[in-house]
Amino acid sequence: MTVVRAFTRSLPGMFLLQLFAGLTLYPVIRFLLLPFLSGSSGGLSFAGVLSADALTNSVRIALESTLWALAAGIAIAFVFERRRWAGSHLTMLVLWLIFITPSYLMTTGWQIFFTLPAFAHGWLAGVFFSEAGVVFLLGLKGLPFAVLAARNSWRVIGAELGDAASLHIKSALRRRATLLQLLLPSAASAFAIVFVENIQEFGIPATLGAQIHLPIVTYAIYERLATTPVDFRGAALLSWQLVGLAVLAALVQLHFSGRYSGALVHGRRRVVPPPSCSVVERMLACLGLLLLAGLGVAVPGANIVIAALSPVRDLAARPVPWDSLVYSTLYAVLAALAAVSIAAPVLLRQRARAGRFTHLLNAISLANMALPGVVLGAAYLIAFNSDALPLYGTPLLLVIAYVAVQVPMLLRFLQTPIEHIHPNLSEAARLHGVAWSARVLDVEGPLLARPFVWGWMMAFAQVFFELPISELLYPAGRPPVGVALVWLNQSLHYAQEARLALAAIAVTFVVAGLITWAVRLAAPLQLAGEPAGNPA
């Protein structure tokens, strides 16, 4: 009986693990092994793919954009942690707006800007519609990652280190170099994160990169799968390049962390309030804020709004595909709900029984998060386009792919709120005869309502504007919003694209508001953290 009971208890964990592995490992491994399987035909040789321009362009552009984002991120993080400045909160707000804005919408805003007569034919337009424009946009999108990675090191470098450097090192240049050396671990971490994000970026290559005909690996993978004849083998070989570059970036980060890392927080560390900015520092910080807000938010956002309000004079213009809003809403609602429904029991089981299950699940989810969306979409295209699993071209496969991408993010987002709830709450209710459904709805449900609603809304917004997976897996005649926006962008219908983009943003806010309102009405108790009202 003991063996049977242990086996019965392990069944849910085994099922969840197999489900997760089936959604991630099986398609990806099958896709990546495609070039090495006997009988595979078509495509380029491995050496031919390595010599292609797409790899060289991707590495060079990723390095250039990462280096300028890293330099600017370290400077911005210094102002956040080592100086007192009134504009810090506004700067953080701008960084978050840049972070959550889809890259192809930011690119569209700049493309619209350079269609204005005053800027259409100047030297600045020539710079933007070149490799420099791609480097600028990629660095701008990677800047929030660089700032967040560098802030922690600036925070923990204590004042005593600066005092000791002032006493023992005469040269001011060497003192600054010594302090900057303490930033190497976080700088390496920021470099790895931003570099991987940049080489995996799809929205900018699919918009500006496609317009200037600049070969980039992520878009080259999509072209091999979207053109006839389809080149699965060449796409898999290109995907190996992305995986290899991500591994190299991780190895660089591990090297610097192991060589230069050290304990900076100790019992005698003095916490000294940071000084105020000097006049020169304040002027530079204000100038940096103006540039960041203007280049990252104001210029692209204002041009999208202006383009949406301007009349369409071209009688042969493509109509706005408003039906894509309906499709994306349905896809995002179902995918976000399914992702939360999978993440919740996984986290509850992790809290109850840590062990091999937890380690395997974390390893699989981390590997899934490291994969570019275009690679995962290609893997699903091959794995589910067979007689055994004929799901390609159906909305079900698109939703499954969305779920596979969102579950790892939700596992990390919801882990802390679940761990904060002591298991004795549910255990005490169980000992007093409370049914399982009542324990979930009346004990843990109200306490977890707020983080789960936030997790659902994050997943909904990301799925709603998702691009690479949508491009490869959307059902014929039912394109999501991201696909429709890129169609309009590539055909230079900026006014229609701007109107659809603003409508899509409005839909996300409306849906998020309705879900929040519905949860407030349905929750048996108030959401955690809210002040108690009048019981009457």
pLDDT, one tens digit per residue, over 335-365 is: 999 888 888 777 766 665 555 666 666 666 6
Can you give the pLDDT at residue 131? Answer: 92
Domains and CATH numbers, the chain: 20-35+318-522 (1.10.3720.10), 54-264 (1.10.3720.10)
What integer best gives the mean pLDDT of the chain?
A: 78
pLDDT higher than threshold 60 for residue 8: no
From CA 139, how far away is CA 92, in angstroms rounded?
17
pLDDT higher than threshold 90 for residue 481: yes
Distances, alpha carbon 86 to alpha carbons 80, 284, 291, 294, 297, in Å: 10, 13, 17, 18, 20
Query: What is residue 474's three-state secondary structure?
Result: coil
Model confidence at 137, in pLDDT bands (50, 70, 90)? very high
Instruction: With both helix axes pointing from N to C terminus, report the angle between 481-490 and 494-522 in degrees, rounded to the nearest 10.
Output: 170
Give the pLDDT confidence of 92-119 residue by residue, as tens digits.
899 988 988 899 999 999 999 998 888 8
Q: Which residue has the higher pLDDT, 202 or 372?
A: 202
For the ranges 29-43, 309-323, 494-508, the lowest mean pLDDT is seen at 29-43
Can you give the pLDDT at residue 526? Answer: 45
Cβ count within 10 A of residue 51:
11
Can you give the pLDDT at residue 309? Answer: 87
Q: Once rounded to an integer, what is the mean pLDDT over residues 525-529?
A: 42
% residues pLDDT > 90 (the chain): 21
Q: Once rounded to an integer, what is the mean pLDDT over residues 489-511?
A: 89
Q: Which residue has the higher pLDDT, 69 or 383?
A: 69
Bridge partners, residue 390, by sequence: 385
CB 158 within 8 Å of CB 84:
no
Q: Once rounded to an integer, what is the mean pLDDT over residues 140-157?
A: 80
Instruction: Identify the sign of the CA torsion 367, 373, 376, 378.
Output: negative
From CA 154, how far away is CA 82, in angstroms rounded?
7
Query: What is residue 390's three-state secondary structure?
Result: strand
Can you give the pLDDT at residue 536? Answer: 36
Element (H, E) at 123: helix 123-128
CB 73 within 8 Å of CB 150:
yes
Give the pLDDT confidence of 176-211 residue by residue, as tens digits.
666 666 677 777 777 887 888 888 889 999 999 989
pLDDT higher than threshold 80 for residue 170: no
Can you give the pLDDT at residue 69? Answer: 92
Cβ count within 10 A of residue 516:
17
> Can you read off the two tokens belonging to residue 531?
């002040």
The pTM score is: 0.79
From CA 133, how far away is CA 409, in angstroms rounded?
30
Distances, alpha carbon 396 to alpha carbons 85, 334, 392, 475, in Å: 50, 10, 9, 9
Element (H, E) at 478: none
From CA 274, how far away is CA 177, in angstroms rounded?
20
Model confidence at 61, in pLDDT bands (50, 70, 90)? very high
Can you give the pLDDT at residue 21? Answer: 67
% residues pLDDT > 70 (the chain): 68
Query: Residue 433: exposed, middle, or buried by beta-carbon count in 10 A (0-12, 13-18, 19+)?
Result: exposed
CB 219 within 8 Å of CB 205:
yes
CB 445 within 8 Å of CB 429:
no
> Can you read off the two tokens belonging to residue 477?
């005649």
Q: Which residue has the higher pLDDT, 38 or 136?
A: 136
Give the pLDDT confidence of 379-427 residue by residue, as tens digits.
888 888 877 778 888 899 999 999 888 887 787 777 666 666 666 666 6
pLDDT higher than threshold 90 for residue 436: no
CB 220 within 8 Å of CB 146:
no
